[in-house]
Amino acid sequence: MSAAETARRKAGLSKPEMQILISIRYEPGRTVSEMRDSLGMTVPTFARLIGTLDARGLIAREREERDGRRRTLVLSDAGVTLTTPIAIVLRERLRLAFRTAGPDAVAGTRLALEALAK
């Protein structure tokens, strides 16, 4: 079992809950609908998961500046504390994978990711 999986289980989070938290960590301030769409979740599922994370005090929903009816998602202090060790493990594993793959593979991966992001 990976270190990230161990940390997820220790925190008592489901895989989709952890996916949401990590997504919010790396893209804070996205609206609820933007985050839901990017993760490919249905409205009821995402609403249930967000409600659970909110009840646990791991996220905060803030009013969007341009449109006060919309809510953006950010991690609470507890959410940052919970996700930090997992993010460190993931970053280290990515670093090792890139080191193993070599500079040409890394350059190719970056080009592919940039093309996907356009």
Q: Which tens digits make up the pLDDT trace of 8-34?
A: 888 888 999 999 999 999 999 898 899
DSSP element (H, E) containing 52: helix 43-55
Q: pLDDT tens digits, residue range 57-89?
A: 999 988 777 777 788 899 999 999 999 888 888
Range of the domain at 25: 3-117
Give the pTM: 0.79
Query: Into how many domains does the chain fold?
Result: 1
- Token pair 């991690």 is found at 75
Instruction: Specify the CATH number for the domain of residue 8.
Output: 1.10.10.10
45-68 average pLDDT score: 89
Q: Which residue has the higher pLDDT, 21 or 114?
A: 21
